[in-house]
Each structure stands twice: as C-alpha cells, then as structure tokens.
C-alpha cells in the first residue's frame, strides 16, 4: 500500500518514520515534507493546503491511505474533499475539526456536554471583553478563537495584562484578522497540564499513552507560549484514576454529543487538560496529533501504525481495544528552536552534527523547520528539530536526548534544559479521585 503524509514538520517526520516501518507500507510520500522525511520517503512538491493538487496526486498514485498532520488543513476540509473522491484518509471532517479551529465552538460543546472546564466568556468586541474582565477578581487567560499555530493563548496575572492581551488579539490582530475576530476569556487554572490523545472511530475511543508538553519558551515555564518546546511520554501525572476521569468525563461525552449534532468525530481527539486540586479541567481540544507529543509517542509505539489507522478509517478500530503495545521505556523529546522564536526568527543557518546525533542508539532526530540549501541542511523556521530518545527511565531518556542535543549546532539555537523534570517531582497538591461538580468554576453561557 502507498501512504501519503501531509505536512512538513517534526510531527509529520515522526509519522512518516513510524508508517515506513509497517510491512504493508509499499511506499511513503510526504507533501511537501522536509529533509528528514526525504531520507525515508519521497517528498512531493505540493503544499499542504493545496487540496485540489493533493487529491489529484492521491488518485494518480493510487494512494491507499492519507494521514493529515496540520490542523489548518483539516479546518479547510481536506478530509471531506478526499472522501468525496472515494479516497481513504485519516482525520475529522471540516465540521468536526471545529473543535480545534474555533475555541468558542469547543467551549460551547464542553458546556453542553457537561465537560469540566474553567469559567469562561465568549466575546466578539474588545469593549465587551474589557467590560467582562473588569468584573473578574481572579487571573485570566485570553485566547484567540481561531488557529494561531499554538501561540494565540495569552496567560495574564492582572486585569491590565488581560486588557493588553485583548488589544493584541482583537485590535492589533497579532494572530491574524480571522483568528482574533472572536476571543475566549477564561479563568486561569492552577495545576499541571496533561496531553491525552485518543483515536476515535464510530463508538470506539482508544486513548494513547499520556504525554506532557512544555509550552513556554524558557525553562520553568517562563516566557510566551509556543507551539511546544518538548514533551515526554508517559507522563506520571496521567495515573489510571486521572485517565479514567478524562475518558468518562471528557472524551466519551464529547464524542457522543458531536454524533448527536450530526458531525461525528473520526480521527485524533486530543484533550489538553489541566490537572488541578479540584480534578481535571479541559483547556482545549485539538483534532490531530500533537507536535511535539507525536515524536515520543511514535518512539514508544510498538503496534503497527498503518494497521491501526487503517482500522480507524474502516470503522473496525474495536479490533485494537486493549491491544495496542508500547515500549515500556519512557521517551523524551527536546525541541531545538531558532533565535527569535516564537517571534520573528532567523533562517538559513547551516545545521551541524546531525549525522553524529543519528548514530546514537535509541535516538531519532525529527526534522521540523529545515530545508536543503545546496549541499547543506539549513534552518527554515521556528521549531527546527525535535531530538527524541528512549531510556530505561525518565532520567536516562533525558540524558540520552540532551547528549544528542549537545552534538547539534546552528547559529542562534535555543532550547529548554528542563524537559521531563516534572516527571520526577511530586504534585504540590492531592488530586481528587473523581471529577467534582462544577461549583465555584461556573460556566458562563456563550452569547447567541
């Protein structure tokens, strides 16, 4: 079978790498891919958002399965376009992908499905937003409604900071005119974040191993949010009790409500949650594999990914319930970013040490923002590489990942040095065993 992976980042490199290990994978294509995918697949010079071109290519090459990486392509309706032509593709429809492409829609679904989340308000005008902020006596988070590459969330400690965030998103349109047309204001929660990705097909929901992402650019979770500076898997925070809460109180009611609304969900439902002293609270939904969570997940997954995704597309995912195999060793992923990220970045710097890092056992260097320049591989964006390693324990996995990081060099390279350390620390508070009723965190009805 021929397989097409859409996208060009570290997530897509990891997916292509894992798919290439399947005995059923006759050939792997990546559109447009990157220098990393070129080593294991055939890159195709078609942009990820060129849906017409991708459909034509898939038909001409008789592609057996297409796997979509980026969220913006799902929001454009690529799954609908492929299915209309009778092509097999893994991912949600354009309507179902609204769970990620619109934070306001996602909050409305959480409210209707009684999924625990923070007190929130949806606003379509800056004056309305500022008026509501002035009535709050607790720290807030200000979120652009639309897609913003993981950067459209501003965590605020004061009302003044929240007012400035509204200006940035709605007036200055720093994250785009469409993305900032509507905003979501919500109570800032205290706890630790957990990423739980589940494969969904029909009534079957299979959660993958829990991960913890590191959003802030600097150590100790300081600085602005990014698309993700590293991740590790499994996250000890994801105990059986916590995962049972997420399954029963988040995933199941959300999937069932989407079906009742005639927008059934198929693909990856990614719940970004905050584990608080009061229980689990949902921060956001994503509708695709996370980046950088995919990298450690693929390093640990022993089950044939191609067979697994095919089963989901063909509505026989139940065959894999309780049968997905994982490497017992944890994996740590460290993202190497360009100077200036998450703002304007330097590009076109030669990357050294890739071949040396690749020689290390149990290490994979997944390419993100890279490209070929004559005989060299150079930087081409913000998150350049995802250095991912397995180890007998989290300490060993961290050591192996940073050993590889120390072999790689490019001008302006920046990275966090604390990826995975939270796995070694106890929680600062006890976690309740069941999802509590939403009391003080009263959900505000969205305005019509």
Residues 83 and 165 in one domain: no
Task: Extract the tokens encoding 339.
Answer: 């100077």
pLDDT at position 431 is 57
How many Å apart are CA 21 and CA 36, to the nearest integer? 15
pTM: 0.92
Number of Cβ within a 10 Å radius of residue 433: 12
CATH code for position 361: 3.30.470.20
341 domain-assigned: yes
Task: Extract the tokens encoding 106.
Answer: 């996602």
**For residue 335, is the peptide bond before it cis, meaning its omega torsion is within 30 degrees of 0?**
no
User: What average pLDDT does the structure give for the chain?
Assistant: 93
Residues 24 and 61 in one domain: yes
How many Å apart are CA 118 and CA 128, to the nearest integer? 19
110 domain-assigned: no
Strand partners, 186: 120, 141
Please give the radius of gyration of the chain, using alpha carbons only, rounded to the nearest integer. Answer: 21
Q: What is the pLDDT of residues 124-134, one digit of tens each?
A: 999 999 999 99
User: Is the pLDDT assigned to residue 269 strictly greater than 70?
Assistant: yes
* Contact predicate 376/351, CB 8 Å: yes
Which of 85-94, 122-131, 166-175, 431-440 comes out lowest in average pLDDT? 431-440
Average pLDDT score over residue span 224-247: 94
- 426: Cβ–Cβ under 8 A, 6 or more apart, which residues? none
Provide the CA 78 distance to its chain's centre, in angstroms.
Answer: 18
Label residues 18-38 b or e (16+ Cβ within 10 Å = b): bbbebeebeebbbbbbbbbbb
Residues 290 and 369 in one domain: yes
Provide the CA 22 distance to its chain's centre, in angstroms.
Answer: 24
Average pLDDT score over residue span 5-13: 98
Residues 41 and 16 in one domain: yes
98 domain-assigned: no
Residues 152 and 206 in one domain: no
How many Å apart are CA 368 and CA 36, to the nearest integer? 8
Residues 169 and 255 in one domain: no
Confidence of residue 105 (pLDDT cuts 50, 70, 90): very high
| SS3 readout for the chain | CEEEEEECCHHHHHHHHHHHCCCCCCEEEEEECCHHHHCCCEECCCCCCCHHHHHHHHHHCCCCEEEECCHHHHHCCHHHHHHHCCCCEECCCCCCCHHHHCHHHHHHHHHHHCCCECCEEEECCHHHHHHHHCCCCCCEEEEECCCCCCCCEEECCCHHHHHHHHHHHHHCCCCCCCCCCCEEEEECCCCEEEEEEEEEECCEEEECCCEEECCEEEHHHEEEECCCCEEEECCCCCCHHHHHHHHHHHHHHHHHHHHHCCCCCCEEEEEEEEEECCEEEEEEEECCCCCCCHHHHHHHECCCHHHHHHHHHCCCHHHHCCCCCECCCCEEEEEEECCCCCCCCCCCCECECHHHHHCCCCEEEEECCEEEECCEEEECCCEEEEEEEECCCHHHHHHHHHHHHCCCECCCCECCCCCCHHHHCCCCCCCCCCCCCCCCCCCCCCCC
Q: What is the pLDDT of residues 214-227, one digit of tens each?
A: 999 999 999 988 99
Residues 57 and 171 in one domain: no
Average pLDDT score over residue span 291-298: 98
How many Å apart are CA 418 and CA 405, to the nearest integer? 13
Q: What is the pLDDT of residues 351-410, one digit of tens each?
A: 999 999 999 999 999 999 999 998 899 999 999 999 999 999 999 999 999 999 999 999
User: Is the pLDDT assigned to residue 14 strictly greater than 60?
Assistant: yes
263 domain-assigned: yes
Task: Extract the tokens encoding 253.
Answer: 């009611």
CATH code for position 130: 3.30.1490.20
User: Is the pLDDT assigned to residue 61 strictly greater than 70?
Assistant: yes
Instruction: Give the end of a domain, one of 138, 156, 181.
Output: 181
Residues 140 and 164 in one domain: yes
- 262: Cβ–Cβ under 8 A, 6 or more apart, which residues? none
Confidence of residue 84 (pLDDT cuts 50, 70, 90): very high
Residues 216 and 344 in one domain: yes
Residues 332 and 393 in one domain: yes
CA dihedral (84, 87, 91, 95) in degrees, to 10, reads 0
Q: For residues 338 and 176, which has the higher predicted lDDT (pLDDT)? A: 338
Task: Extract the tokens encoding 15.
Answer: 């997916």
Strand partners, 222: 218
CA contacts within 13 A on the Cβ side of 98:
15
Residues 25 and 163 in one domain: no
300 domain-assigned: yes
- 160: Cβ–Cβ under 8 A, 6 or more apart, which residues? none
Percent of the chain with pLDDT over 90: 88
104 domain-assigned: no
Instruction: Give the end of a domain, one of 49, 69, 93.
Output: 93
186 domain-assigned: no
pLDDT at position 432 is 52
Number of domains in the chain: 3
CATH code for position 50: 3.40.50.20
Residues 365 and 329 in one domain: yes
446 domain-assigned: no
How many Å apart are CA 152 and CA 145, to the nearest integer? 8
Which residue range is the domain that position 280 belongs to?
192-424
pLDDT at position 428 is 59
């Amino acid at each position: 079978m021929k397989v097409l992976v859409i996208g060009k980042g570290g997530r897509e490199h990891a997916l292509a790498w894992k798919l290439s290990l399947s005995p059923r994978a006759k050939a792997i294509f990546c559109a447009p891919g990157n220098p990393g995918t070129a080593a294991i697949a055939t890159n195709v010079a078609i942009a990820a958002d060129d849906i017409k071109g991708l459909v034509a290519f898939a038909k001409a090459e008789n592609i057996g399965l297409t796997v979509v990486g980026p969220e913006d392509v799902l929001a454009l309706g690529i799954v609908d376009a492929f299915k209309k032509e009778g092509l097999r593709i893994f991912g949600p429809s354009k309507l179902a992908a609204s769970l990620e492409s619109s934070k306001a829609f996602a909050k409305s679904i959480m409210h209707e499905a009684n999924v625990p989340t923070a007190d929130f308000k949806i606003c379509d005008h800056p004056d309305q937003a500022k008026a509501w902020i002035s009535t709050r006596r607790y720290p807030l988070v200000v979120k652009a409604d639309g897609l913003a590459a993981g950067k459209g969330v501003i965590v605020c400690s004061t009302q003044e900071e929240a007012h400035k965030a509204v200006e940035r998103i709605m007036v200055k349109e720093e994250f785009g005119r469409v993305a900032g047309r509507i905003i979501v204001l919500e109570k800032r929660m205290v706890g630790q974040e957990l990423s739980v990705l589940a494969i969904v097909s029909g009534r079957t929901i299979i959660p993958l191993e829990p991960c913890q992402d590191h959003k802030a650019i600097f150590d100790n979770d300081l600085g602005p949010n990014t698309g993700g500076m590293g991740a590790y898997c499994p996250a000890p925070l994801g105990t059986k009790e916590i995962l049972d809460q997420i399954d029963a109180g988040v995933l199941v009611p959300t999937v069932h409500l989407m079906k009742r609304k005639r927008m059934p969900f198929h693909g990856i439902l990614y719940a970004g949650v905050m584990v608080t002293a009061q229980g689990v609270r949902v921060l956001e939904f994503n509708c695709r594999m996370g980046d950088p969570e995919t990298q450690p997940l693929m390093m640990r997954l022993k089950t044939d990914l191609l067979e697994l995704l095919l089963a989901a597309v063909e509505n026989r995912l139940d065959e894999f319930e309780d049968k997905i195999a994982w490497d017992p060793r944890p994996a740590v992923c460290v993202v190497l970013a360009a100077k200036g990220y998450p703002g304007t970045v330097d590009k076109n710097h030669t990357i050294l040490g890739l071949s040396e890092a690749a020689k290390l056992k149990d290490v994979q260097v997944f390419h993100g923002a890279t490209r070929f320049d004559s005989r060299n591989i150079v930087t081409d964006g913000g998150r350049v590489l995802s250095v991912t390693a397995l180890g007998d324990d989290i300490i060993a996995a961290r050591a192996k990942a940073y050993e590889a990081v120390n072999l790689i060099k490019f001008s302006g390279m920046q990275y966090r040095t604390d990826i995975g350390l939270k796995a070694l620390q106890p929680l600062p508070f006890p976690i309740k065993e069941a999802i509590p009723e939403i009391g003080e965190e009263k959900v505000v009805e969205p305005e019509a």
